[in-house]
Structure 1
Amino acid sequence: MLRIILFLICSFCALNASAYDGIWLLVDTNALKIEVKNGEKTIDIIEGIAIGQSGAGQKNHRGDNITPYGEYKIGWVGEKSSFHRFFGLNYPSIQDAEHALRSGLIDQFTYGNIIAAHRYNQVPPQNTPLGGRIGIHGLGNASEKIHKSMNWTHGCIALTNNQIDRLSQWLNTGTLVKIK
């Protein structure tokens, strides 16, 4: 009986493992595109994305409207988002926390909470002075005309609803996202 249970558990895990374990995203904030990668091979490109109103770079505080550079993972998936779909990143990263601690932007306690979250593969605190709830999302009911004419987010990466639906086939919790 134990063998049957173990077999079923292993089979369930195998079925729920991402069929695209080598998949990761490269977000090019200059070209305003996302490349879906399998290893080093590009398998899809989504152009015409929007980023933060203040561009991309090192985020220094909540509300700076900057899309953060760095390596992140999808930390959670919000299917019932007002942005149609929302793939939350595990921002702030360890590197973001180290920079913020050195710069005096966060205290040792906040730093420790961010590091502990990453150590245990949890979403880091989203209410730090560095901000949070950074992700990749659709438009929801927002204007596609505005989306195509300017960078409009508060630090997220935005796509049209059709684009986020297309991208979602590749994404799962844990998918690597590199933002440059």
Structure 2
Amino acid sequence: MLRIFLFLFCVCFSIITSADENIWLLIDTTALKIEVKKGEKTLDTINDIAIGRGGAGIKTHRGDNITPHGEYRIGWIGERSSFHRFFGLNYPSAENAELALHKGLIDKYTYKRIVEAHRYHAVPPQNTALGGQIGIHGLGRADAKIHKSMNWTHGCIAMTNSQIDHLSQWVEPGTLVKIK
């Protein structure tokens, strides 16, 4: 019975594996760049990224087009995304959930589901009032001219397909991502 539960838990909640703790990403939403870090040393920099149309800050609800500040982990990697590649973040974080609970944006049940997912290193629910499916992705077939001219996402971090391919050498499930 326990074996079946663990199998279903892994399938349903996409357990986040443990990445190299020394490699992490710093996303600077003001400078519009990503730094690949090892400890405090910068190994690589990717410039000219795009963020949410609503800028960056505290995300309050699905559809606000804000790229959330905070610390997250890569929860899953979508190699066959309509955006070329998609590195999904484990958003919302427990901190996001706590703030939303205190503001009355989510109920206690939703809060507990998010916190439990983080406790077990799983991807939190992606269908809450706080939104979901936040990640780092390529353009897919999107217009590169728009990408260069404005922040255009619904809260994700976007880069060209060649940039996301380059970034993939550093990223795996569990990689720490700090968005400031």
TM-score, reference length from structure 2:
0.89
Deviations for 1:149-175, whole angstroms, at most 9, x for unmatched residues? 000000000000000000000000000
Q: Which residue number in structure 2 is paired with residue 12 of structure 1? A: none
SS of 2:118's equivalent? Answer: helix
Preserved contact between residue 21 and residue 176 of structure 2 (Cα < 8 Å): no
Alpha-carbon RMSD across the aligned residues, in angstroms, is 1.2
**Count of residues in Structure 1 that have an aligned counterpart in Structure 2:** 164
Structure 1 segments (4+ residues) deviating >3 Å? none
Deviations for 1:79-122, whole angstroms, at most 9, x for unmatched residues? 01000000000000010000000000000000000000000111
How do 1:114-129 residues align onto structure 2 when only pairs under 5 Å count?
114-129=114-129
Identity of aligned residues (%): 72
- For residues 107 and 127 of structure 1, the distance between their equivalents in structure 2, rounded to whole angstroms, comes to 13
Deviations for 1:130-163, whole angstroms, at most 9, x for unmatched residues? 0000000000000111000000000000000000
Preserved contact between residue 33 and residue 49 of structure 2 (Cα < 8 Å): yes
Q: Which residue number in structure 2 is paired with residue 132 of structure 1? A: 132
Matching residue's letter, 1:179: I
How do 1:13-162 residues align onto structure 2 when only pairs under 5 Å count?
20-162=20-162
Matching residue's letter, 2:159: L
Preserved contact between residue 29 and residue 56 of structure 2 (Cα < 8 Å): yes
- For residues 77 and 163 of structure 1, the distance between their equivalents in structure 2, rounded to whole angstroms, comes to 15
Preserved contact between residue 74 and residue 87 of structure 2 (Cα < 8 Å): yes
TM-score, reference length from structure 1:
0.89
- Bigger Rg over Cα: 1
Matching residue's letter, 1:61: H
SS of 1:80's equivalent? Answer: strand
SS of 2:124's equivalent? Answer: coil
Deviation at 1:76, TM superposition (A): 0.3
Q: Which residue number in structure 1 is paired with residue 167 of structure 2? A: 167
- For residues 43 and 117 of structure 1, the distance between their equivalents in structure 2, rounded to whole angstroms, comes to 31
Matching residue's letter, 1:96: N
Deviation at 1:54, TM superposition (A): 0.4
Q: Aligned pair in 2 of structure 1 residues 126, 17: CA closer, same or farther (>3 Å)?
A: closer
- For residues 38 and 158 of structure 2, the distance between their equivalents in structure 1, rounded to whole angstroms, comes to 22
